[in-house]
Structure 1
Amino acid sequence: MFIFTVDDEVSLALVQPSFAKDYYRIVCQERAYLSTWLAWPPHANEEAFFERFIQGALHDYADGKSLTCAIVYQERVVGNVSFNTICHQLKKVEIGYWLSESYQGKGIASRSVSAMIKMAFEDLGMEKVQIAVATENQPSRRLCERLGFRLEGEISNAENLNGRIVDHAIYGLQVTR
């Protein structure tokens, strides 16, 4: 199993079928919160939902299209971080992430996204990292800004979050030449 140690508390582990129960546990406890910024929680009504998600993520990883990791904090799965897309032709990745509400405020998401940025630039030879954030999602916007991303623009009517149409702020970070 692929595990990237971020520090003594946080690691990123390539998703594996055994994580389905952990993801399902988080969603059962925090469905309303997660549904604020993610479209899928209302549909995650059984472990099998996550088993299918993980199987698809592993297939896309094998094809070089994406990389999906569980965020592990003190040996407990607490969220997810991924290269939603890896575009070798454009030398660009798009990062997505979510973290259990009960583990926020500890720098876990920042450390995890930082590790993915490092991996993108140093290991994959990418030249750009992009993150799309709902414009109203201030904690995620602050994370992007803390990590040195630049706001590149906004896209209106970018996503339907469970009946609520949201705009996206697009943040980019590029290799300095």
Structure 2
Amino acid sequence: MIFKTKRLILRPWEEGDAECLYHFAKNPKIGPIAGWPPHKSVEDSLYIIKTVFAKKETYAITLDEIPIGCVGLLIHPDGNHYWGEGSAELGYWIAEKYWGRGLVVEASKTIIKHAFDDLDIKQIYASYRLENSQSKRVLEKLGFKYYTELENTNYLGERFREIAMIKEK
């Protein structure tokens, strides 16, 4: 599917996006705060496109035809094991150059509406690391409410705390 918002087009990732993805995802300010390592090569980014970003309901956030981020839903049972039947987990990131413009909120609103209207999702969960105030603010703007605090492990095996939030239909 392809979704159009006021400023964005949300579309499936394409193999040809690998170089652009690498350009943005190699930034150490992007991945680690979301729990994934910075990309190390275009080939690394291509692998992510073919695997992680190939899941249903995962979309490139594009601005002027350039993929600048990602938004998606992991639908039970693909999401976090804490969430149950009829639920999904919202995830997103955007290139640092585009922070503070409301683009993640705009993209996420579209995906949330799609989840509730078309996919029969009853509740959507999302989580953020305690130190990620930007992600917290995105979820607040989207109308998510506090659900619980979790302990998780990142790609390096380091433990961290995060806040899970919920939005119900």
Taking structure 2 as the reference length, what is the TM-score of the superposition?
Answer: 0.87
**Cα contact 2:13–2:54 (8 A) shared by 1:** no
* 11-20 vs 32-41, greater mean Cα deviation: 32-41
Q: Which has the higher helix share?
A: 1
2:154 is matched with 160
* Residue type of the alignment partner of 1:173: K
Paired with 1:40 and 1:153, the residues of 2 have a C-alpha distance of: 22
Q: Does 1:79 align with 2:48?
A: no
SS at match of 1:136: coil
- State the alpha-carbon separation in 2 of the partners of residues 59 and 35 from structure 1: 18
Identity %: 25
Superposed counterparts of 1:20-169, under 5 Å: 20-28=18-26, 31-42=27-38, 44-57=39-52, 60-61=55-56, 67-83=57-73, 85-87=74-76, 90-156=85-151, 158-160=152-154, 162=156, 164-169=158-163
Structure 1 residues 108, 70: CA separation in 2 closer, same or farther (over 3 Å shift)?
same
Per-residue deviation at 1:92?
Answer: 0.9
Task: State the aligned residue count.
Answer: 163
Change (3 A) 1:147 1:59: closer
Q: Distance in 1 between matches of 2:62 and 2:156?
A: 27
Q: Which amino acid aligns with 2:76?
A: C
Separation of aligned partners in 2, 1:80 and 1:160: 19
Give the secondary-structure state (helix, strand or coil) at the position aligned to 1:33: coil
Q: 2: distance between equivalents of 1:50 and 1:166? A: 25
| Structure 1: tracts of 5 or more residues without a match | 62-66
CA distance in 2, matches of 1:174, 1:86: 14
- Runs of 4+ aligned residues of structure 1 deviating over 2 Å after TM superposition are 38-42, 57-61, 159-165
Extract unaligned runs of 5+ from structure 2. 78-83
C-alpha RMSD of the superposition: 2.0
With over 3 angstroms needed to count, the CA separation of the structure-2 counterparts of 1:100 and 1:172, relative to structure 1, is: same
Is 1:173 the counterpart of 2:131? The answer is no
Alpha-carbon offset, residue 161 of structure 1: 5.9
| TM-score using structure 1 length | 0.83
The alpha-carbon deviation at position 27 of structure 1 amounts to 2.5
